[in-house]
Structure 1
Amino acid sequence: MNVAQPQYDRARLTPGIVHIGVGNFHRAHMAVYLDDLFALGESHDWAILGAGVRPADAAMRSALKTQNCLSTVIELDPQGRRARRGGAMVDFIEVDPSNAPLIKAMCRPEIRIVSMTVTEGGYFIDPATGELDPTKPEIVADSRNPDRPATAFGAIIAALRSRRAAGIPPFAVLSCDNLRSNGHCARAATVGLARLSDSSLADWIASNVSFPNTMVDRITPATGTRERAMAAAFGLAEDPAPVTCEPFRQWVMEDQFPSGRPALEKVGVVFTDRVHAFETMKIRILNGGHAIIAYPAGIKSIEYVHEATANQTITAFLDRVLTNEILPIVPPPAGQDLFEYQRQTLKRFRNPEIADTVRRLCFDGSNRQPQFIIPSIRDNLDKGVMPRGLILESALWCRYCYGIDERGQTIEPNDPCWNALTAAARAAKENPERWIGMRTIYGELADNRQFVGAFADALHLVWSQGVNAAMLRYLENTVR
C-alpha cells in the first residue's frame, strides 16, 4: 500500500513555530496543514519544533525522534484508507521538569508563533469568571517559582520575560485547543499567571502579545492496537505512534500575527474576524448533534456512533431537532451553508472507520450541556418557541444519568460529577424539578414554568413508554 512522503526537502526547512503538546490532534491537524503548505513550496521558514511539559510528552519525543520526527497520519475514509508521512516537525525539544530547554527555544528570535494543544484543563480557567483560577496547585507553584515553571503558560511567560529584556519582539500565542474563545482563554491564563509574580510584565504582555482566537475541527481517535495494525498494513509496523483521523478538517482563525505567519490560507485555512460565528455553528450543530444522538443511543446500549446513526429513529430525531430547533437560531458564517454543514455532519457521524464510541459522546454532560444544548434552548425560548426536541434531549441526558440502561445494565460513571448527577436523576424520576434545579447547568431556566413543565412531560414519557416511543412522539408532533 502506498504511503505519501513529504513533497519538499526537509533539510531546507527552518523553525518558526514552537508547538506545546504534540498529541494526535496536533499531528493530524496543524502539522498536516503545514505539510500541505510546504509541499506547495511555501513558508519553509515556519517548520515546527515540538515541545511538551508533561512526562507523557517525553515518551512522545522518544517515539518521534527515532523516526526523524516524521508522523504517520492515516485518513479513515470509508472509500479507502490513505496514509502519509508528515514532515512539518523538524525537531522535538527536550522535555525537562524545569522547562529550561523549552524556554530557551522560545527565546530564539526566529520563533514567531508558540502554539499549543494542552487540553481544556491546561488553561486553569475558572468557568464562572472566565479568568485564571489562582488557587490551582500548579498555578500557585508557578507563581512562587517563575524561573522554574512547570506549566506551559509559566514557560511562555518566562520566555516572554527574556525576550522583552533582550529587545526581541514577542511571539504570538496560538491556541489550537477545542475551546470556545480559546485565544481569550490563553490570554487570561498568560496574563493572569504573570500578574501573580510580576505585574509589570503582565501589563506588557497584555499590551504587546497577540492571542488569536481559532476554531479547530477534526475527529482523531486515540492510538491503540487497532491503529498500530493499520500502520503495519501500510508497511509502517515500526512506528509506535501512528495517528488516525477522519477525512474532514477545518481551521478558522483571527489574523493577528504581528511578527508574521505561514500562508495557511493557501491550504484551506479561513482567516476572519468572526471566528465566534464559526464556533457557534460548530458547537450548536456538530457538538449539539453529538449530544442529541448520544443519550438515546447510550440508554439503548448502542456502542458506536455509526451504529447509532444506523438507527432510523435516532437519525430522524437528530435531523428534526437540527432542522427545526437549531439551524433557525444559528447565524450562518460568511460563505457557509448551514444545511450543507448539517449534511456533512451526519456524513461524519456515519463513518464506521472512525469507530467513535457513544460513551465518549456521553462523557462530561455536566460541562457539555451548558455549552452545547442549554444555549439553544434559551435562544428558542427567547424567540417564543418551545424547543421540545432539545428538551427531550435534556430529559434523555437525565435518564442516562440514572445509571441503568433499558436492558437493565449498569452505566458506568461517565462524568466528573457522576454521583451528584445520578442522585438528581433518581430523585427526578418522581420529581423532575430536582433535575432542572441544578442551577449551575440550567441557570434561570429553572424559573421558567413552561420549560419546567415541558421537561417534566418529556421525562415522564421517557420513563413510562421508553426512549424510542418518546422520540417517535416528538417526530409525530413536528413537521420538518
Structure 2
Amino acid sequence: ALLIERFHADQLPIALVSMDNCSHNGEKLKAAILPYAKAWAANGFVEPAFVEYLNDESKVSFPWSMIDKITPRPDDKVGEIFREDGIEDMDPIKTARGSFVAPFVNAEETEYLVIEDSFPNGRPALEKGGLIFTDRETVNKVETMKVTTCLNPLHTALAVYGCLLGYTLISAEMQDEDLVKLIKTIGYKEGLPVVTNPGILDPKEFIDTVINVRFPNPFMPDAPQRIATDTSQKLSVRFGETIKSYLKAQDLDTESLEAIPLVFAGWLRYLMQINDAGEKFEASADPLLEELCPIVAEIKLGDTVTVADLESILTNEKVFGVNLIEIGMADKVVALFNEMNKAPGAIRTTLHDTLEKIGE
C-alpha cells in the first residue's frame, strides 16, 4: 500500500532496506512483494505500470544488508531495573515456541551494520554513525564470512556443548578451556583457510573480537539453549559450506577436519536429550526434532551404534549440507558419538581428549 502511494505520487523513488537477519534479505523482500503486485495487476486492482515501477531499481531498490549484534533473551535483571524505576508492564513473555519477548531489548555493545549503497532517493550520512555502505557483492561476502566461518559456527558449537555440559550462559562457557579450544580450532584452524574475505573487515580480527570480547561478556546473559534453537536448520550453512570449500580445494582435505565432526557428533548426542551427567533435558525448539529424535530414542547410555544405525541422519544433506557417508566423514562422527555415549562424563572426556590430539 505504501508503494502504491509512492507510485501515484509521480513514481517517487524509495529504498526498502530489509533488516531481517538472513542472507540476501533484500532479494527475499523483493520476492515477497512482487507476487502481490503482479496479482493485484492481474485482477485489475492496480495498473500494470505499478509492477514495472517495482522492477525499476532506479526507482525502487531492495538493498541487501548484514546485521551483526548478539541480542539474547530479555534479562530479568533489566526488567527489575525498570520496575524499580516505576515503569510498568515490562516483564518478559514466553512465547509458544519457548522464546522470550519483552518491551525492552538488552544487547551487546559490539555491532556491525553493512548495507548495500543503493538508494535512488538519496540517504542520510549514516556512515558517520558507524554504518558501513558498500556494494552488494561485499555485503554478501561479509554475511558469508560471519555465518560460515567467523561467528555463527562458533556460536552453534557452544550451544550444543553448553546444553550437554549443563551451562546456561555463553559467557560462562568461555571460562571452559576445552570449549574455548574447540571454537578456536573451528575458527582459526578450520575456518580461516577457506574464509571469504570481504576486504572491509579482517576475518582474523573479527574472530579475535568474537572470542576475546563478545562471547566472554559477563553482561550478556545469552544462553546456549537459545542459540541451540533450530540447529538442524543451521548446520548446513555454518559447517556444511566449510566442508564444501574443503572438497573443492586442491590443497585441503576433509580428513584434516576434527573440530567440525566433533560438533556433529555432539549434536547427535544432543538429540538423545541426555546431558553429560546422565540427566534428561529438553531440546530447544527445532522443526526436525519430531523426525530426528525418534532415530536416537532407543539408544541408551553405554550403547554402541554403527553408521547404518544413523544412516538416515548422516545422509541428510538438508541438515549437514553434504552427505556425510559419501564424503567419508560418517565413520569419524559415529566413532566420536560412541565415545561420548559410553557413560556419564564421557562427553567431557571425549571433548578434552580429541582437542588434545588436535593440538599435538
TM-score range (shorter-chain normalised) is 0.7 to 0.9
User: Offset at 1:231?
Assistant: 4.1
Aligned mates of 1:463, 1:285 — CA distance in 2: 29
* 1:269 has 2:137 as partner: no
Residue 26 of structure 2 corresponds to 183
**RMSD of aligned alpha carbons:** 2.3
Cα 1:222/1:358, change in 2 over 3 Å? closer
Task: Give, as a single letter, the amino acid of the residue that structure 2 aligns with 1:275.
Answer: V
TM superposition score normalised by structure 1: 0.63
- 1:226 is the counterpart of 2:77: yes
Per the TM alignment, residue 267 of structure 1 is displaced from its structure 2 partner at its CA by 1.4
> 251, 255, 273: which is aligned to 2:117?
255
Cα pair 1:160 1:170 within 8 Å, conserved: no
Q: Deviations over 1:131-157 (max 9, x none)?
A: xxxxxxxxxxxxxxxxxxxxxxxxxxx
Structural mapping, 1:48-127, within 5 Å? none
Q: 2-side partners of 1:196 and 1:444: how far apart?
A: 38
- Aligned pair count reads 322
Conservation of the 8 A alpha-carbon contact between 2:71 and 2:106: yes
Query: Is 2:239 the partner of 1:373?
Result: yes
282, 292, 310: which one aligns with 2:146: 282
Amino acid at match of 2:191: I
**The one of 207, 215, 224 aligned to 2:66:** 215
Amino acid at match of 2:296: A
Task: Name the structure 1 match of 2:296.
Answer: 425
Distance in 2, Cα, partners of 1:422 & 1:170: 50
| Cα distance between partner residues in 2 of 1:365 and 1:179 | 15
Deviation at 1:236, TM superposition (A): 6.9
Structure 1 distance, partners of 2:34, 2:291, is 34
1:136 is matched with none
2:35 counterpart residue number: 192
Residue identity opposite 1:397 in structure 2: W
Which is further off, 329-338 or 212-221?
Answer: 329-338
Letter in 2 for 1:419: E
Q: Secondary structure at the match of 2:167?
A: coil
CA separation in 2, counterparts of 1:331 and 1:479? 25
Residue 347 of structure 2 corresponds to: 467
Is 1:411 the counterpart of 2:276 in the alignment?
no
Alpha-carbon distance change, 196 to 461 in structure 1, aligned in 2, over 3 angstroms: farther
State the distance in 2 between where 1:442 and 1:427 align.
Answer: 23
Mapping of 1:133-152 within 5 angstroms? none
- Name the SS of the counterpart of 1:227 in structure 2: helix
Shift of 1:238: 5.9
TM-score normalised according to structure 2 size:
0.82
Residue 303 of structure 1: aligned partner: 168
Structure 2 counterparts to residues 392-407 of structure 1, below 5 A: 392-407=262-277
Percent sequence identity over matched residues? 26
CA–CA separation in structure 2 for the residues paired with 1:236 and 1:264:
35
Contact 1:231–1:239 at 8 Å: present in 2 too? no
For residue 5 of structure 2, what is the amino acid of its counterpart? S
Q: Contact 2:153/2:186 (CA < 8 Å) preserved in 1?
A: no
Distance 1:439 1:225 in 2: 39
Higher strand share: 1
Structure 1 residue 439, shift from structure 2 partner: 3.2
Deviations 1:196-215 (A, max 9, x none): 33253334312241000001
Q: Which runs of 5+ in 1 are unaligned?
A: 1-157
**Displacement of 1:244 after TM fit?**
2.0
Query: Of the two structures, which has the highest relative contact order with CA contacts closer than 8 Å and spacing of 6 or more?
Result: 2
Note closer, same or farther for the CA distance 1:168–1:197 as it changes in structure 2 (3 Å cut): closer
State the one-letter code of the partner of 2:27. H
Q: In the alignment, does 2:228 pair up with 1:359?
A: no
User: How many angstroms apart in 2 are the aligned matches of 1:253 and 1:266?
Assistant: 14
Cα offset for 1:407?
2.1
Instruction: Single out whichever of 304-313 and 373-382 deviates more from structure 2.
Output: 373-382
Give CA-to-partner distance per residue, 1:147-205, whole Å, 9 cap, x none.
Answer: xxxxxxxxxxx221232123141321111111111111111111133223325333431
* Counterpart-to-counterpart distance in 2, 1:473 and 1:433: 26
Question: Partner of 1:197: helix, strand, or coil?
Answer: helix
Q: Quick one: distance in 1 between partners of 2:265 and 2:192?
A: 21
